[in-house]
Amino acid sequence: MENFITNMIAQCSWLQSLPKWVVVFGFQIFFSVLILFAFVAIFAMLAGYVERRVAGRIQSRIGPNRVGPQGILQSLADGIKVFLKEDVVPTAADPILFRIAPYFVFVGMFLAFVAIPFSAQWVISDFNLGIFYLLACEALVVIGIVMSGWASNNKWSLIGGMRSAAQIVSYEVPVSLTILMIVLWCGTMDIQQIILSQGPMPWHWHVFQNPFLFIGFFIFFIGSLAEGNRMPFDMPEAESELVSGYNTEYSGFRFIIFFFAEFANLYLIGAIVTILFLGGWQAGVLPEFFVSIFGAENPWIVALIKNFTQLFVFQAKALVLVFVIIQLRWTLPRVRVDQLMALCWKYLVPISFVNLLAISFWVVFVPEIGTKITAGVMTTFGAIIFIYFFYRVYWQLKFSKAKIRMNPFS
């Protein structure tokens, strides 16, 4: 990188007129954004495709299978189509706010990616307030959504925007409290440190450290779904109630930016849950193993292989969660607005508070060995729940006979 920039400066005369740190800084930002943007764009496209394909399977139909092999380019085709559409701004809309709202949504999502560590070294910016920064970025999204709802000058959009504001602000509380638990547990807000305080195996993960973190995992997952406006909490979009919510009036490129942000957010949920609870990119002996398999000597190659392995481990965990989220979307009905709020304020917030208190006591009073024992117990417990869940699903599918609240009249 250093050599490359020096060369560039030597080649281009106009770069020589600038101070060197500006050029270096500029190049770093440029390449970071380029890589991130490529990643987000490709992921959003693939996620859109996978979502439709999985939905198709769940709904006993095929899904997109025409554009490219198995329809994998469908998102690209849709993107081009939407790109060519006219960018309509309704006459009665607030033109400036209407135009800039999608960017707020997108920037909020995109900025969060800066702090996501994909491996031990591959992170755009690793700073000591990382997790706090993530929360701040998430909150930026709500401004964009409310802005678009208001600026559209459409009552349905406005209701959608308002719902979204209420929802995201409310669910920020349990989510933040749960993050606070992790911060207490690790004693740091640095994302890399949080990951390093876990380990590669399930009994090293935060989720199985003690019962409170186990509960916290589910609170965080539910809260993230609600913050990201995903089913069953997609109140702001609720197409059967609010037509399509805050993005009703949008078309063309601005519309696709909303979609982009939605799918980027889908990944973010998976990534953040993985970082906080499921050990992040920790791959244990796998990187060394691959290095020995390839017999790499060159330190560059060794680093590359290690980072790639960690990246794959991280992506695998995050994508499993993404898959779960997609399945939830196509399985569950939508909750009602007041039920959504009741879930947050009557259940999740009190439970998070109790959790936070409990974890504080745990950190202070329970010795190291106690944590190890609970980690073992909780992992077994988690495994049993996992197996029981699949058994239940299987049993439900095969043998369940539902009871009906009914008096057959004869």
Partner 1 sequence: MNSNLAQNIECLETDGAPLIVNMGPSHPAFHGALRTQVYLDGETIVKAKSEIGYLHRCFEKHSENSCYQNVIPYTDRLNYVSSLMNNVGYCKAVEDLMGVVVPDRAIIVRVLICELSRVIDHLVCVGTNLVDLGALTNFWYTFNVREKVYDFIEKISGARLTYSYTRIGGLSRDLYSGYEKDLKILISEMRQAIRDVKGLVLKNRIFLDRTRDVCVVSKKQALDWGFTGPCLRASGVPFDLRKAEPYYYYETFDFDIPVGEVGDTYDRIMVRFEEMDQSLHIMEQCIARMPKGPIMTDDKRVRLPAKQEVYTNIEALMNHFKIVMHGIKPPKGEIYSRTEVANGELGFYLISDGSMNPYRLKVRPPCFYMFAAFEHMIKGYMIADAVATLGSLNVVVGESDR
In the complex, the residues that contact partner 1 under the rule CB under 8 A are 55, 58-61, 155-156, 159, 163, 231-232, 234, 238-243, 330-339, 396-397, 400, 402-410
| 299 prior amide bond cis, ω within 30 | no
Smaller CB distance to partner 1: residue 120 or 219?
Answer: 219
Q: State the nearest-atom distance from the C-beta of 337 to partner 1, in Å.
A: 6
CB of 216 to partner 1, least distance (A): 21
**Cα–Cα distance, 269 to 230 (Å, whole number):** 10
Contact 282, 204 (CB under 8 A): yes
Label residue 110 exposed, middle or buried (CB < 10 Å: 0-12, 13-18, 19+): buried
Minimum CB distance to partner 1, residue 321 (Å):
20
Q: Which is nearer to partner 1, 154 or 309 (CB)?
A: 154
Rounded least distance, CB 163 to partner 1, Å: 8
Which of 254, 176, 187 lies closest to 220, judged by CA? 176
Picking from 186, 197, 199, 194, the residue whose alpha carbon sits closest to that of residue 286 is 199
Q: Which two structure tokens, joined as six digits, stand for 173?
A: 């509380």
Cβ-count burial of 139 within 10 angstroms (0-12 exposed, 13-18 middle, 19+ buried)?
Answer: middle
- Residue linked to tokens 């198995």: 70
Residue 191 beta carbon to partner 1: minimum distance, rounded to whole angstroms: 33
**Cβ of residue 164: shortest distance to partner 1, in angstroms?**
13
Distance CA(176)–CA(166), nearest Å, equals 16
Kindly tell me which of 234 and 249 has the beta carbon lying closer to partner 1. 234
Minimum CB–partner distance for residue 365 and partner 1 (Å): 36
Tokens for 41, please give them. Answer: 């764009």
Nearer to partner 1, 24 or 337 (CB): 337
State in angstroms the smallest separation of the CB of 155 from partner 1. Answer: 5
Least distance to partner 1, CB of residue 226, Å: 13
293 or 404: CB nearest partner 1 = 404
Measuring CA to CA, how many Å separate 322 from each of 383, 387, 404?
Answer: 20, 20, 34
Structural tokens at position 12: 């281009």
How many whole angstroms separate alpha carbon 305 and alpha carbon 225? 33
The 10 Å Cβ neighbour count of residue 72 is 16
Residue number with CB closer to partner 1 (295 or 408): 408
Q: What is the DSSP string of 82-106?
A: HHTS-----TTS-HHHHHHHHHHHH
Side chain identity at residue 92, one-letter code: A
Considering the complex, state which of residue 171 and residue 212 has its C-beta at the smaller distance from partner 1: 171
| Closer residue to partner 1 (CB): 285 or 406 | 406
Separation in Å, CA 42 to CA 39, 151, 267, 269, 357? 5, 30, 12, 17, 42
Please identify, using beta-carbon distances, which residue of 148 and 176 lies nearer to partner 1: 148
Q: How far apart are the C-alpha atoms of 309 and 291, rounded to whole Å?
A: 10
Measured CA angle at 138 (ends 339, 210), to 5 deg: 70
| Residue number, 6 or 396, with CB nearest to partner 1 | 396
Residue 198 has phi, psi (to 5 degrees) of -100, -165
- Minimum CB separation of residue 245 from partner 1 in Å reads 11
Nearer to partner 1, 21 or 409 (CB): 409
DSSP, collapsed to helix, strand or coil, labels residue 182 as: helix
